[in-house]
Structure 1
Amino acid sequence: MAPQDTLRYTRIPLTHGSGAIPAVGFGTLIPDPVATRQATRTALEVGFRHLDCAERYRNEAAVGEAMQEAFEAGTIQRQDLFVTTKLWNTNHRPERVKPAFEASLRRLRLDYVDCYLIHTPFAFQPGEEFHPTDEQGQVIYDSGVTLTETWRALERLMEDGRCRSIGLSDISLEKLREIVAVARIKPAVVQVESHPYLPEWELLDFCRAQGIVLQAFAALGHGMEPKVLDDPVITAIAQRVGKTPAQVLLAWAVQRGTAFLTTSTTPRRIQENFEISALPEDALREIRDGIKTSIRFNAVVETGVPGFIPRAPRAEPKGTGPH
C-alpha cells in the first residue's frame, strides 16, 4: 500500500497515557440525538475510530447507542475505538469531577474512556444549569476552585483504569504552561481551534516538546467567514492534487503532526472527511508561507462560553467542529 493511502489511519502514541490516538477524529456536536446516532453510525462505517464527545453536547447517550450497535454487530470491538469526552465548566470542583465522569460513562455505556478533557479552563457556578447567569445575563463564574485543583481531580481518575488519559481543551499556551509545571500526570491531549488561519505554531511546538498531542477542532473553519475552504491557496492545491479543499486541510493537519476533528450529518461528507491522502511537501510549504489571513472563529478560549454549541437546533454549517 502506498504511503499516501495510510494517512487516514495515522495513530499518535500517547506519551502521558495509554494507547494511541487516531489522528482522524469525528466530533459529535450534533444538536439532535437521532441525527447524532445516525451520523456516529455512518462515521464508524466509513472508518472513523476516534469519537469526540462531551457532557455539554447533551447527546452522549445517542453516541453510546451507536457504539453499542457496532459492538453487538461485531463490526467493531471496544479496543478498536478511541473515545474522548469532557468535563463541563459547572463541574470543576474536585468533589463534582468523579460523579460527572461516571455519569458520562453511563450515558456512553462504556467501562472506560480513552481520554477525559477539561472542556474549558473556566469554572462556572456549580449546579444543574449548564450556563448559570445573573440578572444581566452574564455568566456566573466560580471563584472557589482553581484549574490546578480540577486537574488534580482528573489525575485521581486515572488510578482505577477507567480513564486512560487526561487533557485540556480550549486552553491558551500560558494556561497550559501553568498546568504542565505542576502536573503529576501531564496532559496527553490538548484540544484547540486550529486551521491554516489559526495554525497555533507556538502552541504546537510547546506540545511537541512536552510529548502532548495537539488536536484541532474547527479544522475546516466551521464554515465561517472568511472561509478557509475557499482560500485560493487551498483551492489551487486541491485542484492540483485531485482532492477537495476539505481533504487538503485535513491532510495538512495530520502531516504537521496534529490530530483533528470534523463533524457532519451528511454521509457523503463524512466519507470525504475520512478519505484523506498525503500532500506533497511543496503544498505544505505553500500553506505555511502563502496564507496570510489570521483569525480565531471561536472566543471560548477567552471566556469559557462555547462559540459553536447552539442553544436550540439549527442547520449544520459546512465543516463543523465542536465547542
Structure 2
Amino acid sequence: MSYEVIRDELRDTRLPLNNGAGAMPAVGFGTLFRDLSTTTEAVKCALEAGFRHFDCAERYRNEEQIGVAFQQVFDAGRIRREEVFITTKLWNTNHRPERVRAAFEASCQRLQVDYIDCYLIHTPFAFQAGDDQDPRDIYGHVIYDGGVTLLETWRAMESLVDEGRCKSIGLSDITLDALKAIVAAARIKPAVVQIESHPYLPEWELLAFCKEHGIIVLAFAPLGHGMVPNVLQEPVITGIAQRVQKTPAQVLLAWAVQRGTAFLTTSATPSHIQENVDISTLPHRAMHEIKDEITTRIRFNSVVETGVPGFIPARSA
C-alpha cells in the first residue's frame, strides 16, 4: 500500500520566538564536525542548499571558520545577514555571571556578526572557570564549579537580551525538571530548548511543556547520529520512506517538523546536505505509525547527566 506523496513547503516552516523577536527556521544545520577543516565549505554549501538556521558553539572550536563562510556569502550579496538565524552557545566553563558577556562577545567576534539570534547555555552544568574547556582532576574526573547556580547564569543571559545584541536566549541538554525551575524563576523566559530527540527518544512530555510556554524544541541527533540501534533502519521508518518515495532521513526530519519541533542535521557531503533540506509533509497515517508503532526508547548522548558531550560525529559526512 502506498501513500499519496504531498509536495509542499514544509522545509520553509518557521517557528515564532516567544519574546516576539522573530522566528526560527525549523530546518537547521549543525556545525559540530569531527574534521574542523571541512567547516567553511560545509556551511557555504548548506547556505546554497537553502539552510537559513545555523547552530554553533564556543565548544565546537570552529566559530572562526563558520564566520569566514558567513562573511564570504554575505559579501557576495546573495544572502543577507537578516535572512540567517544564528545560534551559538555559552560553554560550561563560562557560567559565572562575570564571564558570560565576554564569552558572548568572543563568539560574536569569531562568527563576524554584530548580533546573535539565539544564545543558549550549552549544558546546565558549571565547570571550573578558566580557559581549559575540559577541566579534570588528577584522576580524570571533571572539575565542577559549585559556586554558581544555573539561575545566576540565566540572569546574566537575560542582561544580554536587555542590551539588544542577543535576540533570544535558551537552554540545551536540560531535563524537564530543571527547565521547569528556570521557567518558573525567569524574568525572560527561555525561547529555545535544544535536546536530543528522535523517534527512539520523542520527549513528548517535555515537548508538551514547551508548547504550553511557547518554547521552541530544537532537536539534535534527529537521525540518531549513526548509533545502534539505528533509527534510519527502523522498519516503520523505512516502510514509510518507501511508500512516500523519500529517504528514511527525510521521513525522520519531516516527522520532527510536523510534530512542532525544529531540528539540526550535520554533514560535509553536498548530496547529504541537499537531502536533509528536501523534506515534504508526511500523511497523517505515517505520523501515527511513528508515534504508535515505534516502541524502542534510548538516549544516545549522556550529556544531560554529566555536562560532558557524549559523542561527536563518527565521520564528517
TM-score (norm 2): 0.97
Q: Quick one: distance in 1 between partners of 2:134 and 2:20?
A: 31
1:77 aligns with 2:80: yes
Following TM superposition, the consecutive aligned residue runs of length 4 or more in structure 1 with deviations greater than 3 angstroms are none
TM-score (norm 1): 0.95
Q: Does the CA contact (< 8 Å) of 1:31 and 1:57 recur in 2?
A: no
Aligned counterpart, 1:305: 308
Aligned counterpart, 2:261: 258
Q: Quick one: distance in 1 between partners of 2:162 and 2:315?
A: 41
Q: Quick one: distance in 2 between partners of 1:64 and 1:188?
A: 24
Aligned counterpart, 1:272: 275
Q: Quick one: distance in 1 between partners of 2:178 and 2:224?
A: 24
* Within-5 A mapping of 1:114-153: 114-153=117-156
Q: Does the CA contact (< 8 Å) of 2:34 and 2:315 recur in 1?
A: no
* Within-5 A mapping of 1:76-225: 76-225=79-228
Q: Quick one: distance in 2 between partners of 1:77 and 1:34?
A: 25
Question: Per-residue displacement from partner, 1:174-226 (whole Å, max 9, x unpaired)?
Answer: 00000000000000000000000000000000000011000100000000000
Amino acid at match of 2:195: V
Aligned counterpart, 2:292: 289
Q: Quick one: distance in 2 between partners of 1:131 and 1:224?
A: 24
- Displacement, 1:315? 2.7
Amino acid at match of 1:291: I
Q: Does the CA contact (< 8 Å) of 2:16 and 2:24 recur in 1?
A: yes
Q: Quick one: distance in 2 between partners of 1:257 and 1:224?
A: 24
Question: Per-residue displacement from partner, 1:30-73 (whole Å, max 9, x unpaired)?
Answer: 13333000100000000000000000000001111101111011
Q: In percent, how many aligned pairs have the same letter?
A: 68
Q: Quick one: distance in 2 between partners of 1:25 and 1:65?
A: 19
SS in structure 1 of the partner of residue 210 of structure 2 = helix
Q: Quick one: distance in 2 between partners of 1:263 and 1:81?
A: 17
- Displacement, 1:5? 2.0
Q: Does the CA contact (< 8 Å) of 2:6 and 2:282 recur in 1?
A: no
Aligned residues: 313
Q: Quick one: distance in 2 between partners of 1:252 and 1:210?
A: 22
Amino acid at match of 1:28: T
* Cα RMSD, aligned residues only: 1.2
Please list every run of 5 or more consecutive structure 2 residues that lacks an aligned counterpart in the other structure: none
Q: Quick one: distance in 1 between partners of 2:35 and 2:307?
A: 23
Amino acid at match of 1:130: Q
Q: Quick one: distance in 2 between partners of 1:225 and 1:79?
A: 39
- Displacement, 1:75? 1.1
Aligned counterpart, 1:54: 57
Amino acid at match of 1:283: A
Aligned counterpart, 1:227: 230
